[in-house]
């Protein structure tokens, strides 16, 4: 197994290695929108083995520590801080724009593992209590074309996978943000405490 080989290599070269785990993932695995396995490890540097930027970005944001991402397919090695800073600047701009929104769409995915209707209903009530309009939109696949019939809405909160808001951010004509980002919009969370949204099977919203 590649993970075991890397652990052996690092330990043979005098490095202390810690590997996280959680109830819903294998040892050392970051799966989907769940970063439980990397929390509270206290490592000086995190090593991500896999393709793509979303998971190493999440590790960086949750741990605030250097992250090296190694793509076993291409052989590329990336240090994530510059990429994370660029993404955070984009997210900050989206949040600033979202502060102007008064008419919201709340997106619920019908996909297994991403359906969080309870969260959507709580967000709807929260926005209405703030004097805004809010409408729940249930859909399967979320992309800019799917949202075209709802352009009378000024912004969207995605309760499904946060990659929808983050990876495809530049493709949307209206602000598309996560529930955690909405907390910043409504001044219920400070920007300095920015966090990725997670979908955890054990939390109260996964129903």
Per residue, what are the HEC states of 105-135?
EEEEECCCCCCCHHHHHHHHHHHHHCCCEEE
Examine the pLDDT at 35 and tell me if it is beyond 90: no
More confident residue, 25 or 165: 165
Residue 55 CA, chain-centre distance (Å), reads: 9
If one compares 84 and 29, the residue with the highest pLDDT of the two is 84
| pLDDT band for position 26 (cuts 50, 70, 90) | low
**Measured between alpha carbons, how far is 111 from 124 in angstroms, rounded to an integer?**
20
For residues 140 and 86, give the distance between their C-alpha atoms in angstroms, rounded to a whole number.
29
Q: Are strands 77-79 and 67-70 parallel, antiparallel or unpaired?
A: antiparallel
Q: Which residues contact 41 (CB under 8 A, 6 or more apart)?
A: 18, 20, 63
Q: How far is CA 48 from CA 135, 161, 162, in A?
A: 38, 20, 19
Q: What is the CATH number of the domain that holds 50?
A: 3.40.50.11850
Output the pTM of the full model. Answer: 0.85
Asked if pLDDT for residue 204 goes beyond 60, the answer is: no
Of 62, 80, 98, the position where a domain reaches its end is 80
**Averaged confidence pLDDT in the chain:** 89
Confirm whether 117 is domain-assigned. Answer: yes
Domain residues for 126?
90-204
Q: How far is CA 131 from the centre of its chain?
A: 27
Q: Are residues 102 and 69 in the same domain?
A: no
At residue 174, the pLDDT reads: 95
pLDDT at 168: 82
Q: Which of 87-96, 103-112, 159-168, 185-194 has the lowest mean pLDDT?
A: 159-168
Residue 70 pLDDT exceeds 70: yes
User: Is 60 exceeded by the pLDDT of residue 203?
Assistant: no
Q: How many domains does the chain have?
A: 2
């Amino acid at each position: 197994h590649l993970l075991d080989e890397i652990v052996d290599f690092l330990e043979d070269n005098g490095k202390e290695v810690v590997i996280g785990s959680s109830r819903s993932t294998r040892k050392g695995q970051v799966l989907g929108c769940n970063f439980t396995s990397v929390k509270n490890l206290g490592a000086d540097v995190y090593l991500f083995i896999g393709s793509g930027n979303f998971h190493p970005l999440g590790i960086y944001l949750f741990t605030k520590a250097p992250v090296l991402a190694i793509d076993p397919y291409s052989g590329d090695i990336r240090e994530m801080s510059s990429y994370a800073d660029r993404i955070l600047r984009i997210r900050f701009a989206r949040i600033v724009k979202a502060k102007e929104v008064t008419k919201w769409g709340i997106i619920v995915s019908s996909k297994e593992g991403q359906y969080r209707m309870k969260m959507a209903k709580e967000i709807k009530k929260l926005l209405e209590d703030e004097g805004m309009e809010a409408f729940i939109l249930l859909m399967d696949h979320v992309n800019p074309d799917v949202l075209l019939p709802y352009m009378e809405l000024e912004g969207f909160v995605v309760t499904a996978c946060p990659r929808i808001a983050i990876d495809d951010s530049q493709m949307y004509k209206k602000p598309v943000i996560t529930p955690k980002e909405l907390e910043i919009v409504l001044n219920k969370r400070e920007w300095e405490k920015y966090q990725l949204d997670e979908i955890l099977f054990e939390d109260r919203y996964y129903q």
